[in-house]
Amino acid sequence: MTTRAHTYADIRLAKDSSMEQYLHSTQRLNAFHDAIMMKVFLTALQKHEETNGAPPCLFTLFLLGSAGRCEQGTLSDQDHGMIYELHTNDAADYFLTLGQTFSDGLYEVGYPYCEGKVMSSNPVWCRSIEGWETQIHSWIEEETLDTIRSLHMICDARVLYGEKTYISSFKKQISTLLQNDRYLLKRFFENIQYMKKSVGLFGQIFTEQNGQHTGALNLKQAAFFPYVNAIRVLAVKEGIESSSTLMRMKALKQISAHASRIDECEEAYRMLLDFRLRALKNASDYDSSHYIHIDTLGPIRKKELRHILKTAEALHHYVQRFVEKG
């Protein structure tokens, strides 16, 4: 039986009352998110065990998306999955129900449900080892936008609780395929190839032209995605298993062919992480946490933002050329 002294209300109170002290560091903020999510999971696990008994086999709870990369901001939705050993209907029922309990707990603590249903309450993201092996093979064979996107997500997976070797094995499988299959590598990049223009020839920043965020820049789409996606492609191609963008950059700098380019990008990406903490710490909801109103920035901050956006665009083109060369 798992021990705990928490309710979801307790955890929500601790989260909301303590968040502010972690806003000066992305690393500390994400360690805080990890601690909160672990408390939620242990609470969910005990609640589940009281009705369904102990887990029937070893299992892994893993995080995806910004949580997997240790890049969450103050507000974050859910992205998680599970892997379990036994390939039986009873095990599937047990862990899907546990996944639902965990997901509901996260929601109560302040993490919105994932709109794309990338959660361990969804059977697509809660499978046995055998089921995951079959699923990953199917994603590779299908090569649709959705299935390639799912492979991208697995590459960002990071274990929060349980056995660590399962995820490592799946990542190595994907990396090996991309290193040896030039066509698949191109498909992997094509999935993230589209990049909306965010800064003009004369330095003007392009913002939303209509809707509730008119006059604002979507920092997630315009800045984070170009860095995160491009670095992921490079890292997986080079056999780097790390999930964090910064850790991937650190490893890529050890490869002479990438060193100078990545060094410049790392500086800009760290600037971006700091920029988000300072600019969006008071966002009222998850959707708003991605948008920054340009007219609220002074000249120095606008100059920083232009540099971040231009460096992201240059990185994107660099990776495109790298992939085309094979």
pLDDT over 50 at 50, yes or no: yes
Cα(61)–Cα(96) distance, integer angstroms: 12
CATH topology of domain 8-180: Beta Polymerase; domain 2 (3.30.460)
Q: What is the mean pLDDT of residues 170-178?
A: 92
Q: Note the pTM of the prediction, 2 decimals.
A: 0.92
Q: What is the mean pLDDT of residues 300-310?
A: 93
Domain boundaries, the chain: 8-180, 192-325
Query: pLDDT grade, residue 303 (50/70/90)?
Result: very high
Neighbours of 71 (CB within 10 A): 25
For residue 156, what pLDDT is reported?
Answer: 97
Q: Give the tens place of pLDDT for each residue, 88-133.
A: 999 999 999 999 999 999 999 999 999 999 999 999 999 999 999 9
pLDDT over 50 at 226, yes or no: yes
Q: Which H helix or E strand runs over 150?
A: helix 145-155
pLDDT over 90 at 197, yes or no: no
For residue 192, what pLDDT is reported?
Answer: 86
pLDDT over 60 at 4, yes or no: no
Q: Any idea what the Cα angle at residue 38 is, between residues 37 and 39, rounded to 5°?
A: 90
Give percent above pLDDT 70 in the chain. Answer: 97
pLDDT over 60 at 307, yes or no: yes
For residue 200, what pLDDT is reported?
Answer: 83
- Which of the residue ranges 142-146, 215-219, 246-250 has the most confident prediction, judged by mean pLDDT? 246-250
Q: What is the mean pLDDT of residues 126-154?
A: 94
The whole-chain average pLDDT of the chain stands at 92
For residue 280, what pLDDT is reported?
Answer: 65
Query: pLDDT grade, residue 326 (50/70/90)?
Result: low
For residue 3, what pLDDT is reported?
Answer: 44
Exposed e or buried b per residue across 75-111, where buried means at least 16 C-beta atoms within 10 angstroms of its C-beta: bbbbbbbbbbbbeeeebbebbbebbbbbbbbbbebbb
284 vs 53, more confident: 53
Q: Give the tens place of pLDDT for each residue, 246-280.
A: 999 999 999 999 999 999 999 999 999 988 888 76
pLDDT over 80 at 281, yes or no: no
Phi, psi of 156 (to 5 degrees): -95, 0
For residue 279, what pLDDT is reported?
Answer: 74
